[in-house]
Amino acid sequence: MAYKASDTKYNEMKYRRSGTSGLLLPAISLGLWQNFGEVNVFNDFEKIILGAFDKGITYFDLANNYGPPPGSAEENFGRIFARNLKPYRDELVIASKAGYTMWDGPYGDWGSRKYMVASCDQSLMRMGLDYVDIFYSHRYDPGTPLEETMGALDYIVRSGRALYAAISNYPPAQAFEAFRILKELGTPCIAHQIRYSMLVRDRGDSLFELHKECGVGCVSFSPLAQGLLSDKYLNGIPENSRASRNFTLKGDFVAENTGKIGALNEIAKQRGQTLAQMAISWQLYDDRVTTVLVGVSSMKQLDDNISALANTAFRSDELETINKIVTQ
């Protein structure tokens, strides 16, 4: 049976302007970093992507190296797009990035114009798209002049490969220069994607004023600190978890924060939320974060995350207590 999107998909989702651009992004977006690669079950993530769109999630965040293996998340998304979402292309914001290793040799990594443009073309081919809505420089390249990397983004937009330019994971000083260069080129940066959560705050706290000054939206990823801000780690490190496998979430980081997540969970209970919901709500209580990227492995997790939108208000005493917990 052909997919038909829900007629009520826009009823509950909230949308926020990305910086001073004209682009509105859903408060919660779907990141395809994990769980959407070749090693995962295609039917499962097809249900998640379509279910997300039915809930008003219009922004799908990819990168050339997402998988595993690298490239497979884009290939799988492309299959889902062709099978189900092509009639809704003008209702979708699809993003990709280039900046990490994708192929052998000196031209398959970092931020040269040659790599950026070639990688964008490869991403479009994998997804079967004429263009992406947002194309990111995935990380700052200290070996390439910023003028070259930003010039590549400008060219990618002007050539019709992307509608908007953005950056990801840039330190404050380099982010400011990137914003300046893109503005002078006439292709302003509309978003800066950063790792940000209750437990990992330094980068966001050092950038929010700069984002506001330069009219750049903030796209927050890893809002649950790789799952630590969820029920999973309240009683230590469970078997078969990321921390137990020493994957991207390290066991010592879990150990350092076990007491904090227990205290935060008590506040969440008082608010009638799960810890994960409160962690997302906390990011959205003001306008510093444009959209929160969530990564999920089931519709249940996605529904739980979206439910955070029901309560994004915080009393001042709640915010003070949370701040004391996470900074102690």
Summarised one tens digit per residue, pLDDT across range 270-328 is: 999 999 999 999 999 989 999 999 999 999 999 999 999 999 999 999 999 999 999 98
Q: How many residues does the chain have?
A: 328
**Residues of the chain below pLDDT 50:** 243-245
Query: What is the reported pLDDT for 252?
Result: 76
| Cis status, amide bond into 68, omega within 30 of 0 | yes
Q: Pick from 162, 130, 167, 128: which is nearest to 146 by CA?
A: 167
Query: What is the reported pLDDT for 242?
Result: 52
Give CA angle at 79 (77, 80), nearest 5°. Answer: 65
Positions of E strands within 62-201: 93-98, 132-137, 162-168, 189-195
What is the Cα–Cα distance from 135 to 108, expressed in whole angstroms?
Answer: 17
Query: What is the reported pLDDT for 244?
Result: 46
Query: What is the reported pLDDT for 82?
Result: 98
Query: What is the reported pLDDT for 241?
Result: 54
Positions of E strands within 33-90: 59-61
